[in-house]
Amino acid sequence: MKMILSFLSGLLTLLFSFHSGAQDANPIKDKTLLWRISGKHLTKPSYLFGTMHMICREDFIWTGKMKESLTKSEKVCFEMNLNDPNVLTEASMALIESITKKLLDNINDSTKMQKLAKLMSDTSGKDKMLSESDPMALQSLMSSAGLNCPNTVSYEDSIMKIALGDKKEIMGLEEAKEQIAVFETIPLDSLINMLLEGKMPKEAAGGATAELMTAYKNQDLPALYNLVMSAGGSGIDMKLFLDGRNKKWIPRMSEKMKTSSVFFAVGAGHLAGPNGVIILLRKDGYTVEPVK
């Protein structure tokens, strides 16, 4: 699980490093990561929490209200069911296969191999040999981007440990194959070439991470949303990556909330924006209120 989450965190950091400029089309103004869902004949409230897949331990936020909301909830739902070993195996194998193919498609000569090895060393502080027998090379580079701290922590992992300790059921909003299909659209090949050609500004990944961490620590969903949307300059289809998934999630969330109080924990970038989960739930008739 940590491999998948660390890869996604590093990948998004690199995408933000090539951003096209911030956008401001965000109807959500409240600064909080936690939201209460009620109304539309719900007998019990559910909660929506925006996660950061990987974060430095010293930046980890977990307030009394967040703990209380998780305790009150009967079930926990992530983007995928991270407690299902079959889901994790399927996602991990597909991720490795995709990374390996794109790595080998782009690293076809010794000069490029040396450049990427040096970049990995500069980014992670560790020497790493790259070859066809090393399918995790690109994953290591992506997951190490930006987070310059000795100890990292995953919100999903931390929340799941608490939930399992309380014997709560763990669920997912997507099957592994659905999430894999979306990530297959991310232009890793373009990013690799940008990195190799030196088009990435010096310490851009670290700067992008600092912006993300500042917005997240401030629980500033509007700023976080603008940073996420600015990643469109790297060629990623943000409507598919965020909007399309958000719209699919709403009926699935509705079904899960019918009989139980659910703590939904998804990437914070999914919450805000005109097609974010908060607005879409409100359009579907729910009351979604900030919890501070």
Share of the chain above pLDDT 70, in %: 58
Helix axes 188-196, 2-17, angle to 10 degrees: 60
Q: Is the pLDDT of residue 292 over 70?
A: yes
Q: Using pLDDT thresholds of 50, 70 and 90, give the confidence band for residue 52.
A: confident
Mean pLDDT of 252-277: 94
What is the count of structural domains for the chain?
A: 1
CA distance 173 to 263: 12
Predicted local distance difference test score (pLDDT) of residue 106: 57
HSE-up (13 A, CA, CB side) for residue 236: 27
Q: Using pLDDT thresholds of 50, 70 and 90, give the confidence band for residue 147.
A: low
CA dihedral 27, 29, 30, 34 (to 10 degrees): 40
Predicted local distance difference test score (pLDDT) of residue 129: 45
- Domain of residue 35 covers 2-290
Q: Are strands 287-290 and 169-174 parallel, antiparallel or unpaired?
A: unpaired
Q: Is the separation of the CB atoms in 39 and 12 below 8 Å? A: no
Predicted local distance difference test score (pLDDT) of residue 68: 97
The CA angle 251-253-255, to the nearest 5 degrees, is 70
> Which H helix or E strand runs over 64?
helix 64-72
Mean pLDDT of 208-227: 83
Question: For residue 16, which amino acid is it?
Answer: F
User: Residue 5 to residues 177, 201, 249, 266: CA-CA distances in angstroms?
Assistant: 16, 25, 20, 12
Q: Is the separation of the CB atoms in 53 and 156 below 8 Å? A: yes
Lowest-pLDDT choice from 45-54, 82-91, 232-241, 257-266: 232-241
The SS3 of residue 261 is: coil
Lowest-pLDDT choice from 222-226, 277-281, 285-289: 222-226
Each as own residue / partner, the long-range contacts of residues 203-208 (CB below 8 Å, 24 or more positions apart, any chain) are: 204/17, 204/18, 205/13, 205/14, 205/17, 205/123, 205/145, 205/146, 206/146, 206/148, 207/17, 208/13, 208/14, 208/16, 208/17, 208/19, 208/146
Give the Cβ contact number of residue 39 at 10 Å: 14
Q: Using pLDDT thresholds of 50, 70 and 90, give the confidence band for residue 273.
A: confident
**92: phi then psi, degrees, rounded to nearest 5:** -65, -45
63-118 pLDDT, tens digit each: 999 999 999 999 999 998 888 877 767 766 766 666 666 656 655 656 666 666 66
**Cα 125 to chain centroid, rounded:** 24
Give the dihedral sign, CA 45/64/289/54: negative
Q: Is the separation of the CB atoms in 2 and 140 below 8 Å? A: no
Predicted local distance difference test score (pLDDT) of residue 144: 46
